[in-house]
Amino acid sequence: MKTLVIAIGGNSLIQDAHHQSVSDQYAAVVETVRHITDLLERGYRVVITHGNGPQVGFILLRSEHSRGILHQVPLDSIVADTQGALGYQIQQALENEFRRRRLSRSVATIVTQTLVDRKDPAFARPSKPIGEFYSPDQAEERRRVDKWQMVEDAGRGWRRVVPSPQPVRIVESEVIRHLAAGGYIVIAAGGGGIPVVADEKGLLSGVAAVIDKDLASAVLAAQIGADILVISTAVEKAFLRFGTPDQMAIDTMTAAEARRHIAEGHFAPGSMLPKVEACVHFVEKGGGTAVITCPACLSAALDGRTGTRVTR
Q: What is the pLDDT along the chain (312 residues), one digit of tens a residue?
A: 899 999 998 666 766 666 778 888 899 899 999 999 999 999 999 999 999 988 998 898 888 888 889 888 899 999 999 999 999 999 999 999 999 999 999 999 999 999 999 999 999 999 888 888 889 999 999 899 888 999 998 788 999 999 999 999 999 999 999 999 999 999 999 999 999 999 999 999 999 999 999 999 999 999 999 999 999 998 999 999 888 899 999 999 999 999 999 999 999 888 899 999 999 999 999 989 999 999 999 999 999 999 999 998
Which among 131, 192, 275, 287 is annotated as catalytic?
275
Alpha helices in 142-254 (DSSP H): 173-181, 213-223
Residues 105 and 197 in one domain: yes
What are the angstrom distances between the C-alpha of 160 and each of 122, 149, 157, 236?
A: 15, 6, 10, 33
Residues 139 and 235 in one domain: no
Is 121 within a domain?
Answer: no
CA–CA separation, 27 and 57 (whole Å)? 20
Residues 293 and 183 in one domain: yes
Residues 293 and 307 in one domain: yes
How many structural domains compose the chain? 2
CA–CA separation, 207 and 162 (whole Å)? 10
* HSE-CB for 165 with a 13 A CA cutoff: 22
Which among 10, 87, 192, 193 is annotated as catalytic?
10
Q: Is 10 a catalytic residue?
A: yes
What type of residue is 257?
Answer: E
Q: Is 128 a catalytic residue?
A: yes
Residues 271 and 158 in one domain: no
| Its pTM surpasses 0.75 | yes
Residues 186 and 133 in one domain: no
Is 157 within a domain?
Answer: yes
